[in-house]
């Protein structure tokens, strides 16, 4: 996990809905991290709010889940906002749930068929338990989508720079800096993690606490001394210690020896470890080929 909190957007023109939702969600936590609710009262306010949460590109957003009322300034303003998120922002990662107090205005089946959304909820069904289920499941799925797409984007960037190891290193460092920036250029406050790459025992890149090579090597040595779990039959393994993990890619004829450390904001779930392991095997092969 790279986030200190998860962001949920509520777009609804009824003040009572905002207050009830805020009270219901005040203790929600996902992967042990708090959920922060952002409010907007119209399609236009929703667009402005989502733009303020955008990271670097229009399709990358801090918001994991959006709960959107169908009927606001017009009968289909909420559905138009869903279309804007998918078609204009090109955001396929955010989990969208539409809510309505007038189901006849936007029948559930036609909405699900026509719009790329994850769920449909009548306001009469919006109990605290239902909100908990939707938000928690939505944040989990958005996290998986976000990490998966980010690692694909990073690998694509590195492939384009694979003419030399120096170019790979420069591209890697540049991508890591850019990944933490919002559209306005400032660093996103809710992204806080440390990470480090070492290849064939060479320090390649480090971020935050592990930007300093000596500090990174000391923590690497501490983790390497702890019991490790195998990741495959090639000798890849992982060591986990609280919020820190060390993935070691074993050297083969096809790939270099890579050590990757991440200090997240919460212990990494199994799916996140699996995604990083797959990416790092590709990175190790790319580095080997560039040599």
Q: What is the pLDDT of residues 217-240, one digit of tens each?
A: 999 999 999 999 999 999 999 999
- Within its chain, how far is the Cα of 150 from the centroid? 8
**In terms of C-beta distances under 8 Å and separation of at least 24 residues, what long-range contacts does 111-119 make, across chains too?**
111/70, 111/79, 114/79, 115/79, 115/82, 115/83, 115/86, 116/82, 116/86, 116/92, 117/82
Q: Are residues 121 and 244 located together in one domain of the fold?
A: no
Q: Look up the domain containing 261 and give its range.
A: 147-290
pLDDT of 138-195, one tens digit each? 999 999 999 999 899 999 999 999 999 999 999 998 888 776 554 444 556 666 688 9
Q: Are residues 181 and 223 located together in one domain of the fold?
A: yes
Q: Are residues 88 and 185 located together in one domain of the fold?
A: no
Among 123, 141, 159, give the residue marking a domain's end.
141
- The pTM (predicted TM-score) of the whole model is 0.88
CATH code of the domain in which 115 resides: 3.40.50.2300
Determine how β-strand 202-207 pairs with β-strand 229-230.
unpaired
Among 107, 141, 175, give the residue marking a domain's end.
141
Q: Are residues 119 and 224 located together in one domain of the fold?
A: no
Q: Are residues 105 and 163 located together in one domain of the fold?
A: no
Q: Are residues 286 and 151 located together in one domain of the fold?
A: yes
Among 120, 141, 162, give the residue marking a domain's end.
141
Q: Are residues 192 and 276 located together in one domain of the fold?
A: yes
Which of 177, 16, 35 shows the shortest CA–CA distance to 95?
35
Contact predicate 43/80, CB 8 Å: yes
Q: What is the pLDDT along the chain (291 residues), one digit of tens a residue?
A: 788 999 999 999 999 999 999 998 988 999 999 999 999 999 999 999 999 998 878 888 999 999 999 989 998 899 999 999 999 999 999 999 998 877 666 667 778 888 889 988 887 887 889 999 999 999 999 999 999 998 999 999 999 999 999 999 999 988 887 765 544 445 566 666 889 999 999 999 998 899 999 999 999 999 999 999 999 999 999 999 999 999 999 999 999 999 999 999 999 999 999 999 999 999 999 999 997
Which of 167, 203, 176 shows the shortest CA–CA distance to 291?
167
Q: Is 228 within a domain?
A: yes
Q: Are residues 110 and 167 located together in one domain of the fold?
A: no
Q: Are residues 133 and 155 located together in one domain of the fold?
A: no
Q: Is 96 within a domain?
A: yes
Number of domains in the chain: 2
Q: Is the dihedral of CA 232, 238, 240, 246 positive or negative?
A: negative
Q: Is 1 within a domain?
A: no
Q: Are residues 281 and 175 located together in one domain of the fold?
A: yes
């Amino acid at each position: 996990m790279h986030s200190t909190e998860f962001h949920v957007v509520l777009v609804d023109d009824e003040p009572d809905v905002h207050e009830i939702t805020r009270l219901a969600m005040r203790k929600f936590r996902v992967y042990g991290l708090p959920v922060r609710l952002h409010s907007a009262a119209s399609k236009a306010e929703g667009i402005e709010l989502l733009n303020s949460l955008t990271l670097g590109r229009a399709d990358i957003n801090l918001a994991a889940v959006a709960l959107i009322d169908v009927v606001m300034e017009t009968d289909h303003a909420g559905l138009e906002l869903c279309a804007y998120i998918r078609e204009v922002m090109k955001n396929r990662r955010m989990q969208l749930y539409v809510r309505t107090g007038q189901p006849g205005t936007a029948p559930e089946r036609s909405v699900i068929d026509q719009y790329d959304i994850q769920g449909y909820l009548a306001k009469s069904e919006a109990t605290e338990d239902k909100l908990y289920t939707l938000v928690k499941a939505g944040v989990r799925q958005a996290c998986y989508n976000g990490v998966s797409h980010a690692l694909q984007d990073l690998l694509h960037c590195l492939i384009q720079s694979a003419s030399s190891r120096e170019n790979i290193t420069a591209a890697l460092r540049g991508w890591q800096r850019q990944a933490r920036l919002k559209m306005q250029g400032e660093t996103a406050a809710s992204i806080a993690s440390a990470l480090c790459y070492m290849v064939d025992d060479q320090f390649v890149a480090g971020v935050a606490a592990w930007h300093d090579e000596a500090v990174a090597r000391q923590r690497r040595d501490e983790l390497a001394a702890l019991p490790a779990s195998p990741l495959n039959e090639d000798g890849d393994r992982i060591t986990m210690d609280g919020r820190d993990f060390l993935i070691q890619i074993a050297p083969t004829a096809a790939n270099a020896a890579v050590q990757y450390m991440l200090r997240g904001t919460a212990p990494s779930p199994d799916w996140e470890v699996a995604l990083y392991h797959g990416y790092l095997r590709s990175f190790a092969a790319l580095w080997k080929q560039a040599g």
